[in-house]
Amino acid sequence: MALASAPVKFTRYQVAVVAILAFLQFTVVLDFMILSPLGAMLMRDLAVVPAQFGLVVSAYAFSAAISGLLAAGFADKFDRKKLLLFFYTGFVVGTLLCGFAPSYAFLLGARAVTGLFGGVIGSISMAIVADLFPLEARGRVMGFVMTAFAGSQVLGIPLGLYISNAWGWHAPFLMIAAVSAVVGVVIFTTLRPVDAHLHKRVDRRPLHHLITTVLKPRHQWGFAATMLLALGGYMLMPFGSAFSVHNLGIPLEKLPMIYMATGVAALFAGPLMGRLSDSVGKYRTFAAGSLVAIGLVLYYTRLGVTPIGVVMAINIAMFSAISARMVSAQALASAFPAPQDRGAYMSISSSMQQLAGGVASSCAGLLVTQSGDGPLGHYERLGYVVATAMAATIVMMARIDAMVRSDARGKPAPAAEPASSPAGSTAAD
């Protein structure tokens, strides 16, 4: 296994880009993740059942899936900075609408608007990372960008819960919209144009570009793996707070302690897993993290009343394993498409991820039951489904890893459509 002789050194501007993308992802991730800890409060205040709450979560995902497909044909025709600002502005407006939602129906529509714009932001960010950083350094970059999840755990979610307990569940969305507006200004003033891909031969026909990107056999492996990766987070996350309160016996006011402890650990886990994936190999890191996560998910979803210290320890271990999976998978996937297809591929991949997530959230609401304020029933079924999906992704990512390695050697992978080596893939894992 060939490794880079020395760690790639980042320029000051590259460091600034990583920081900008991390803060950007912080707001987008927080907007999605805040629904989980607010779940118990929101279901009570709006008088909705788990299936209806699952639909609120999936509304974001379904609209994001549609948006990803619509944007794919145009994703490589424009400066990525301009695309990022356009969709981020729409995301801020959608989040603001959530903050003023007077009813369940309005909130459902507002989540759809937020997903329509927010669901594409991650794919644009990943395309920017792949454009500006070589493959041998992307693990580190993805690790730092993924600290957005940790930041939302440590700062965003506890603060959001505190604000919601004081002023209601609308307030956290207003807070996210305000912070996002500031981040948007920083992007506008600091980020340089990202348009190097425009100097390569690009398919100017949006529909044709979309279709050809989808139909490439090597891309289809990536899309399938992405859909399976989304299954775990979307199935367990929506009912995480309700399961903690009603099944594990954690008081609602102590939920911020769990999220904060998990987030502090994740602040270190993301960059650590990124460096690990760059040094020992992205697929090895992914496979190891997946095996650990499978065991923890199966154990966690079968728990009853549990001391808060034990719950914290399990959450920390589980989130660290998931960080290993996501950081390494994102870094590996970034090497898959050619530069002139990168925006379209990332956009379609995001769409497939959101579609899978929407289906998963809806199915989770159907698999889980609850009578009144009693414990959630059949939660362990989610564990079985998630563990099966994780096992399947280990197999699929092995194939993707083989293709990337073949590209790095300058040889076409077996049974895959020949393609030019992705930008930056100068060394294998």
Q: In DSSP terms, which residues pair with 377 in a beta bridge?
A: 369
Could you tell me if 308 and 365 are in contact, meaning their C-beta atoms sit under 8 angstroms apart? no
In this prediction, residue 334 has a pLDDT band, given cuts at 50, 70 and 90, of confident
In this prediction, residue 35 carries a pLDDT of 76
Between 307 and 365, the higher pLDDT residue: 307
Task: Say if 336 falls within a structural domain.
Answer: yes
Residue 322: inside a domain? yes
139-143, 195-199, 291-295, 311-315: least confidently modelled range: 195-199
Tell me, yes or no, whether 6 lies in a domain.
Answer: no
At 201, the pLDDT band (50, 70, 90 cuts) reads low
Indicate the range of 126-130, 210-214, 390-394 predicted with least confidence: 210-214
Residue 140 counted as domain residue:
yes
Q: What is the pLDDT of residue 90?
A: 94
Residue 421 has pLDDT above 50, yes or no: no
pLDDT at 373: 67
pLDDT above 50 for 427: no
Count Cα neighbours of 82 within 13 Å in the Cβ-side half-sphere: 8
Check if the beta carbon of residue 122 is closer than 8 Å to that of residue 349: no
Distance of CA 333 to the CA centre of its chain: 13
**35-44, 90-99, 202-211, 265-274 — most confident range:** 90-99
Structurally, how many domains does the chain consist of? 1
For position 420, what pLDDT does the model report? 34
* 425 in any annotated domain: no
Percent of the chain having pLDDT more than 70?
86
Q: Please indicate, yes or no, if residue 258 is contained in any of the structural domains.
A: yes
The reported pLDDT for the residue numbered 244 is: 85
Please choose, from the candidates 147, 135, 195, 192, the residue with its C-alpha nearest in 3D space to the C-alpha of residue 12.
Answer: 192
Domain holding 313, by residue range, is 12-191+203-408
Half-sphere exposure of 354 (CA within 13 A, CB side): 30
Secondary structure (3-state) at 338: coil
42-60: per-residue pLDDT in tens?
A: 777 787 777 787 788 778 8
Q: What is the CATH number of the domain that holds 362?
A: 1.20.1250.20
pTM: 0.68
Q: Which one is predicted more confidently, 305 or 376?
A: 305
Flag whether pLDDT at 291 surpasses 80.
yes
User: If pLDDT is split at 50, 70 and 90, which confidence band does 279 have?
Assistant: confident
Whether residue 416 is contained in a domain is answered as no
Check pLDDT > 60 for residue 423.
no
**Residue 26 in domain:** yes
